[in-house]
Amino acid sequence: MPDTQLDLLGNLQRSQMCGTLTASDAGKTITLMGWVNRRRDLGNLLFIDLRDRTGVVQIVFDKESNPVLHARAGGVRSEYVLAVVGTVKRRDSATVNKNLSTGEIEISATELRVLNDSKTPPFSPSEQAISNEELRLKYRYIDMRRPEMQSNIEMRSRVSLAIRKELSSRGFLEIETPFMTRSTPEGARDYLVPSRVYPGSFYALPQSPQLFKQILMISGFDKYFQVVRCFRDEDLRADRQPEFTQIDLEMSFPSQDRVFEVVEAFLVAAFREAGVELKPPFPRMKYDDSIRRYGIDKPDMRLPAMTEVRDVFTEENLNALSLDPLLPVVAVRIPKVGELSRKERDENKQLFATRPPAKVIDDLKRLEKSFPDSVAKLTALCEAEPDDLLVLVAGGCGPDRSGIQARKASEAVYTSAGAIRLAFAQKYKEKHGAFAKRGSADDYRFLWVTDFPMFEFDEKEARWNAAHHPFTSPHEHDFGKLLSDPAAVRALAYDIVLNGTELGSGSIRIHRQDIQKQIFNALGMSDEEARSRFGFFLEALEYGTPPHGGIALGLDRIVMILAGADSLREVIPFPKTAKAVDLMVDAPTPVSPAQLRELGIHVKS
């Protein structure tokens, strides 16, 4: 630890923040407090850049006018905490620093107190983020001193405040729900908290407040919201965190349109904080159309949709190409990419995984030699310009397919085409330019995806699962197919998608106990099992439950997008690593044998 004489703050009070000073403050005597961002010693003149949350300002210590103060300033080092009294002076035009918001002025110091010293930090907050993210996370308090992190965390605070204001102005109440609860139905693994009082029993941390918010509707709070932490023990991907924050809401007697309107309104308020003026209503698309046109349920609308081009080929053409004429033929168009070389086409094969029976035709020039008419027609159908890249995806011949097999085979063609579309969109983003930000609302292409399937088939377990969660209402017209044709049952479930990222999901819920029971049956859950997992909720449903519905959006993702950050960890103050570790506090850790004994837990080595 450096040997420093530390001063007391005494009766000094901060009068202004560093980054807010301008030329109009010239002549004022001010008191600043902050950290030493940088120090430059030019002999008779010593400069300290003092930093606080608002920015940096230059302080000058002049040996001639105050040798004692100058000598004291010589002893300070990076990240020391200082109080400085001084006069604001305009810089002469030759020394104005255009890169600094306070660059027109500097502070001529008349008093300096060293409030605290600092060890030499492992990296300097005055520089760009270092590439060693583990070190950044271990010393998060230093990392967060960097202006980017300060601005991201400030953006986060402003965005959640704007959302709260918007929702409460619409009559929503923010109501807290418990963290220590029992398993909730989002389908991930739970984080468990052992009970000391009931050894062998556990609370589960909520994967979402789903059942509580539905119960709040039963309790008569017809508009609920919460900016709330959720916990899911999932295998982590780059854009996941084990604990994350949702903007969660629920309304009684809503139509889907009402839910959309409320979400659009709070997104307008949130984006306004980043200077972006969104223009609702956002477009909508049914799930089936989304799969057919984009090969995915969260389409990135910044690039053209795919085009069905089966009809430009005759059955003989397709047979000659060993393609199944009963399956779709889909064209993917990426603008301005130009023709691909043989080498590039070979490399591209690593980029995407096609699902059988999907097959890719990426050499249209060659196809044109054998089928000039078809290629001319499909180029026109896709409205392709000469420098656009066109790739076809179709289904290879196979055994006779009918019913669910045929449905799956054509889905494989669409989703494979969708995967290629996305892989190429990423790879050729410099060429097509569609992802470049222009600083307007058009940079943000929102979409509501509606009418999701109610169930999805789990091949491994050979059973149907709820695609959203089991409290989602099926379409009224599809009630009859719950047991006979689960694949065809549509749900009143919706997602909000932005530039190919799912921002949130929700649904109109089941409010009748009899229908809830049928859904559990369709999911292969016995009455006993349903009762043991969700008994309290099923009972509550029997006491006059109003029709209700809601949604939850990921706050972390919204802030990440608004901050222009490329990882959730850039907008979460204390995030976990991809291996679910908090490097700063070093969690998780083993606990003492005494603690385990008290909880009645024996850990196998």
Taking CB under 6 A as the rule, does residue 270 contact ligand ASP? Answer: no
Which of 346, 349, 357, 384 has its CA nearest to residue 368?
384
Answer yes or no: are the C-beta atoms of 396 and 413 closer than 8 Å.
no
Cβ neighbour number for residue 368 with a 10 Å cutoff: 15
Answer yes or no: are the C-beta atoms of 486 and 455 closer than 8 Å.
yes
Taking CB under 6 A as the rule, does residue 210 contact ligand ASP? Answer: yes
Taking CB under 6 A as the rule, does residue 252 contact ligand ASP? Answer: no
Which of 467, 468, 466 has its CA nearest to residue 506?
468
- DSSP-derived letter for residue 491 is B
Q: Which of 186, 190, 451, 495 binds ligand ASP (CB under 6 A)?
A: 186
- Name which of 19 and 506 has its Cβ closer to ligand ASP: 506
Q: How far is the CB of 471 from ligand ASP (least distance, A)?
A: 8
> Hunting for tokens 């909508």 — which residue is that?
284
Q: How far is the CB of 543 from ligand ASP (least distance, A)?
A: 21
- Binding to ligand ASP in span 110-169, by CB under 6 A: none
The C-alpha atoms of residue 545 and residue 549 are separated, in whole angstroms, by 12
Q: What is the DSSP string of 266-292?
A: HHHHHHHTTT----SSPPEEEHHHHHH
Q: How far is the CB of 17 from ligand ASP (least distance, A)?
A: 39
Query: Which H or E run contains 335?
Result: none
Which of 518, 550, 594 has its CA nearest to residue 209?
550
Q: How far is the CB of 558 from ligand ASP (least distance, A)?
A: 15
The C-alpha atoms of residue 16 and residue 9 are separated, in whole angstroms, by 16
- Name which of 260 and 424 has its Cβ closer to ligand ASP: 260
The C-alpha atoms of residue 158 and residue 163 are separated, in whole angstroms, by 9
The C-alpha atoms of residue 43 and residue 110 are separated, in whole angstroms, by 18
**Bond from prior residue into 575 cis (ω within 30 degrees of 0):** no
Q: How far is the CB of 520 from ligand ASP (least distance, A)?
A: 17
- Binding to ligand ASP in span 522-561, by CB under 6 A: 550-552
Contacting range for ligand ASP; rule: CB under 6 A; set: 284-292, 419-427, 453-461, 501-509: 501-509
Token representation of residue 312:
């430009």
CB neighbour burial string for 341-353, b if at least 16 within 10 angstroms, e if fewer? eeeeeeebeeebe
Token representation of residue 591:
């606990």
The C-alpha atoms of residue 511 and residue 474 are separated, in whole angstroms, by 11
Q: How far is the CB of 415 from ligand ASP (least distance, A)?
A: 22
Contacting range for ligand ASP; rule: CB under 6 A; set: 291-299, 347-355, 358-366, 499-507: 499-507
Total binding residues toward ligand ASP, as defined by CB under 6 A: 9
Q: Which of 54, 160, 177, 208 binds ligand ASP (CB under 6 A)?
A: 208
The C-alpha atoms of residue 502 and residue 240 are separated, in whole angstroms, by 12
- Name which of 410 and 505 has its Cβ closer to ligand ASP: 505
- Name which of 186 and 324 has its Cβ closer to ligand ASP: 186
Q: How far is the CB of 186 from ligand ASP (least distance, A)?
A: 5
Taking CB under 6 A as the rule, does residue 190 contact ligand ASP? Answer: no
Q: Which of 507, 548, 556, 568 binds ligand ASP (CB under 6 A)?
A: 507
Contacting range for ligand ASP; rule: CB under 6 A; set: 296-304, 393-401, 481-489, 505-513: 505-513
Token representation of residue 387:
């420098």
Q: How far is the CB of 42 from ligand ASP (least distance, A)?
A: 58
Q: Which of 506, 508, 516, 560 binds ligand ASP (CB under 6 A)?
A: 506
- Name which of 57 and 493 has its Cβ closer to ligand ASP: 493
Q: How far is the CB of 120 from ligand ASP (least distance, A)?
A: 45
Cβ neighbour number for residue 136 with a 10 Å cutoff: 22
Taking CB under 6 A as the rule, does residue 505 contact ligand ASP? Answer: yes
- Chain positions contacting ligand ASP, by CB under 6 A: 186, 208, 210, 505-507, 550-552
